[in-house]
Amino acid sequence: MSGNIRLLSDTLARARSEDRAALVAYLPAGFPTVDGGIEAIKAVFDGGADIVEVGLPHSDPVLDGPVIQTADDIALRGGVRIADVMRTVREAHRSTGKPVLVMTYWNPIDRYGIERFTAELAEAGGAGCILPDLPVQESAVWREHAEKHGLATVFVVAPSSRDERLAEITAAGSGFVYAASLMGVTGTRASVGAQAQDLVGRTRATTELPVCVGLGVSDAEQAAEVAGFADGVIVGSAFVKRLLDADDHAAGIAAVRALAGELAEGVRKR
């Protein structure tokens, strides 16, 4: 079965045709439980997200800040497994018809098996993977399997990336490019920073792929700012924090649905 890279590309193209940025949400699988995480993703889609990244919880993250680390720890203590991640992707996509990716560090895939992981992700209806710590020069085998199964390979670029390095990364990627707005880990911030706009411009000079910006966006005003120069606005920690701060599960679901609605309005005010 082929994955949904075409659905991902079509979704980003449709947002561009509507003269807006796409809203890309991130939530970890298994948080606060597997069923609760699936419900939260459906609520985010219902609120207005175009695309969702499902995080594969990892005990040794390099990109995630304290909020997402806390959620990952809860998921891992709850016994989340890759099978639960695949189930999350399957149910989220099946119930909404929208593109769902997995964001994961390389070690879990390496241990699980590349062919097994890509085949199962495609069967679940996944659109692809975001791989923040897989070096491009070591990615050929992954990309071969991902392409075979119709999955996007999304790489992360950073403000420190030199132009020649950007060209190397974007040439190898597919789906879209994940542009980290600043040097650091995930988390909400008072401002996104001018570095992000410069990075988007330099990245676009190397590729026709859409460029989506993540790290730091937490409200509609920041979403509108980023939507003014990016093809997509990625929000993760703000959603996770809403769930962590909620008095109960129902309140958390309502909170992430409401935040998605606010951000969806923001990306339309570019």
Cα separation, 80 vs 33, in Å, equals 8
Distance between terminal CA atoms of the chain?
A: 37
Catalytic, out of 39, 50, 64, 231: 64
What are the b/e assignments for 155-185, b being 16+ CB within 10 Å? bbbbbebeeeebbbbbeebbbbbbbbbbeeb
Phi, psi of 191, rounded to the nearest 5 degrees: -145, 155
Is 120 a residue of the active site? no
Cα separation, 4 vs 10, in Å, equals 10
Which helix (H) or strand (E) segment holds residue 69: the answer is helix 66-77
- The alpha carbons of the chain give a radius of gyration, in whole angstroms, of 17
Catalytic, out of 39, 50, 53, 72: 53
Pair 24, 41: CB distance under 8 Å: no
Is 219 a residue of the active site? no
Closest CA to 54 of 73, 70, 68: 68
Evaluated on CA atoms 44, 45, 51, 52, the torsion sign reads positive
Pair 4, 93: CB distance under 8 Å: yes
Pair 192, 235: CB distance under 8 Å: no
Hey, what are 233's tokens?
A: 């606005």
Cα separation, 217 vs 223, in Å, equals 6
Catalytic residues: 53, 64
